[in-house]
Structure 1
């Protein structure tokens, strides 16, 4: 026993350089990219880009793409793709606008019907992919065309407006300053409490716990970042409701991906579908659930979109699926399946929204915006392929 203890004491302690080498390289690249984008556009707009008002607008833009990316990253992790989310969002938003403007439905009923329709459309895509064995590329490409056609048909090709002031609450309201601070502090307290409980549980099973000092530094930095973010948004009008919804679905998606059997099964299916099937996983059922969840999140994004616009438009959601896919790939998801994280997809959505916002402020022509975003998507996929070849 004494000899074992002495050997443990002689074991070298990991250096700071060693810890840095173990950091997620893709996450580090994304952070550097965000800092570069912020500094570049701030310089080009003489500081207007980093004003509280524009930051608030930037995060509201991120909310829609971010929620789409959360659903999309689960689809990509499972080894599939969904090209229909943009048209589906337009159709669901147009339907919600019709219920609100033409028929005067109360807000709760409009929300329930829209979410139910999103779930059904997701199930429709998933049924063809999982049980009819039609490639998801073809199924969702057909959906992209069909949903857009249905939208144009039900709206007669006209904009449905103006939506009610009640519906505007979803996408245009802000949390009171004190409420947002209380939510932020309460969320941090819950996270730190869960972290402490997790460490105590590991100790009870004699599992080695990470050193307390780096963990404390990480917690302090996280707390400062979140509270600074809230104070910055409060400096304008408060935390936008869509941003709160994005944060809630990011936490929920992260929990599903990392802490549930369903999440682990999705990674297993995307990593090796034959091995997953042989291990007893119901592949078809889980893929159906992934597409259903994606449709539900598309419905959330649709409600936010028409609430922000104050109208349902036949062109709403045009090529939004490309932004969602790009956000996932930039965030570290692999198009071959089995790899990706929810937080990375949301950060990727923020990068895409930052580029859109900055180039719009600089009055960059639309065709150049498409070229830049296409180039970034190509670069992100190339980096994923190069990393995979090295492994």
Structure 2
């Protein structure tokens, strides 16, 4: 009788515990994404029932989409990292640093250091500066983790503080507030395609590319393989070191893009508004069904995980419930998601 390969990628992806065929319904019910999607739907139904005239409106959902756009981009990168059984605590600080670099670059290229009236040439250079800044931090994280073999928790905890400190140094501890009006009006608050905010469109495109990369390409298969069993992946010919370097590079790149998006939306670097973005991205990714133990996860699940805290916050505000309850509710959902993942793993390993 053929033996079932331990830690197989297929086993991790579909959560079946092996390659045996199971009914679609059974596979769906066993998936974390299914249950977390039910939680999101239930929240929407409850708040709609409580305040139909205020919650179930186009304006409310449009606002939800805008408010989650930056976090969604961060969380897409975090999904890749956690699937490899890693972690990145630095993405929030890298976002701040990238936004600061973009802001200072656009100021330096503008007359009298005021970027308010800058054109698209200056804005393009600012975008490139933000992306490069984020990518450099991602490269540093990847090198220290994949090549120097330092644990991801320690590396990204260190770069989290370093990136934030560097951002403060760039502008003497204060925010950059001179942002091109054209950038704020077009990307920050501009709309297209029937009123869809441009910021949301950017987030959607990045999310779709991330889903394609993770679920249909060799890069995605390698990501699952490394997270399932790094040693087995190495023996099968996968360059684990190089792949981890690419994953953290991708995460840094996306943090740079998110930093520029935030700059466009707030017309400022808003340092204080992003100090917990790293934890929010991790929580959203894990709530969406991505396993902290590696090898399991999906971009769709992450999208759902991003919207749960956002819906809770919006719903509590509309129903005039204190925001503190949102923190309790999100914490409960996060713990439940991790418990469900552990339970599923124990059941699979006992077979």
Q: TM-score range by the shorter chain?
A: 0.7 to 0.9
Q: Which residue of 2 aligns with 1:277?
A: 234
Q: Which residue of 1 aligns with 2:28?
A: 23
The answer to whether residue 313 in structure 2 is matched with residue 356 in structure 1 is yes
Q: Do the aligned partners of residues 93 and 386 (structure 1) sit closer, same or farther apart at CA in structure 2, a change above 3 Å counting?
A: same
Q: Do the aligned partners of residues 18 and 129 (structure 1) sit closer, same or farther apart at CA in structure 2, a change above 3 Å counting?
A: closer
Q: Which residue of 1 aligns with 2:146?
A: 130
Number of matched pairs? 315
Gaps of 5+ in 2: 1-21, 111-117
Q: Do the aligned partners of residues 363 and 155 (structure 1) sit closer, same or farther apart at CA in structure 2, a change above 3 Å counting?
A: farther
The answer to whether residue 86 in structure 2 is matched with residue 74 in structure 1 is no
Q: Which residue of 2 aligns with 1:389?
A: 346
For each residue in 1:189-246, what CA deviation from the matched residue of structure 2 results, as whole angstroms up to 9, or x when unmatched? Answer: xxxxxxxxxxxxxxxxxxxxxxxxxxxxxxxxxxxxxxxxxxxxxxxxx111122122
| Contact 1:42-1:50 within 8 A present in 2 as well | yes
Aligned-pair CA distance for 1:48: 0.9
Q: Which residue of 2 aligns with 1:174?
A: 191
Task: State the superposition RMSD in angstroms.
Answer: 1.9
| Contact 1:79-1:336 within 8 A present in 2 as well | yes
Q: Counterparts of 1:19 and 1:371 in 2: how far apart (Å)?
A: 34
| Contact 1:64-1:305 within 8 A present in 2 as well | yes
| Contact 2:73-2:203 within 8 A present in 1 as well | yes
1:153-168 matches, within 5 Å, as 153-168=169-184
For each residue in 1:98-135, what CA deviation from the matched residue of structure 2 results, as whole angstroms up to 9, or x when unmatched? Answer: 22345437111111111111111100110000011110
Aligned-pair CA distance for 1:44: 3.8
Select between 149-158 and 292-301 the one with higher mean Cα deviation.
Answer: 149-158
Q: Do the aligned partners of residues 372 and 153 (structure 1) sit closer, same or farther apart at CA in structure 2, a change above 3 Å counting?
A: farther
Q: Which residue of 2 aligns with 1:220?
A: none
Select between 127-136 and 29-38 the one with higher mean Cα deviation.
Answer: 29-38
Q: Which residue of 1 aligns with 2:223?
A: 266
Aligned-pair CA distance for 1:60: 1.0
Aligned-pair CA distance for 1:294: 0.5
| Contact 2:141-2:155 within 8 A present in 1 as well | yes
For each residue in 1:255-280, what CA deviation from the matched residue of structure 2 results, as whole angstroms up to 9, or x when unmatched? Answer: 21122212111111110011111111
| Contact 1:155-1:314 within 8 A present in 2 as well | no
The answer to whether residue 136 in structure 2 is matched with residue 117 in structure 1 is no
Q: Which residue of 1 aligns with 2:38?
A: 32
Q: Which residue of 1 aligns with 2:158?
A: 142
SS of corresponding position for 2:150: coil
| Contact 1:97-1:160 within 8 A present in 2 as well | yes
Please say which structure displays the higher CA radius of gyration: 1
Gaps of 5+ in 1: 1-16, 178-237
Q: Counterparts of 2:249 and 2:72 in 1: how far apart (Å)?
A: 18
Aligned-pair CA distance for 1:19: 4.1
| Contact 1:120-1:295 within 8 A present in 2 as well | yes
Q: Which has the higher contact order (CA 8 A, sep 6+)?
A: 1
Q: Which residue of 1 aligns with 2:277?
A: 320
The answer to whether residue 57 in structure 2 is matched with residue 51 in structure 1 is yes
Q: Do the aligned partners of residues 31 and 120 (structure 1) sit closer, same or farther apart at CA in structure 2, a change above 3 Å counting?
A: same
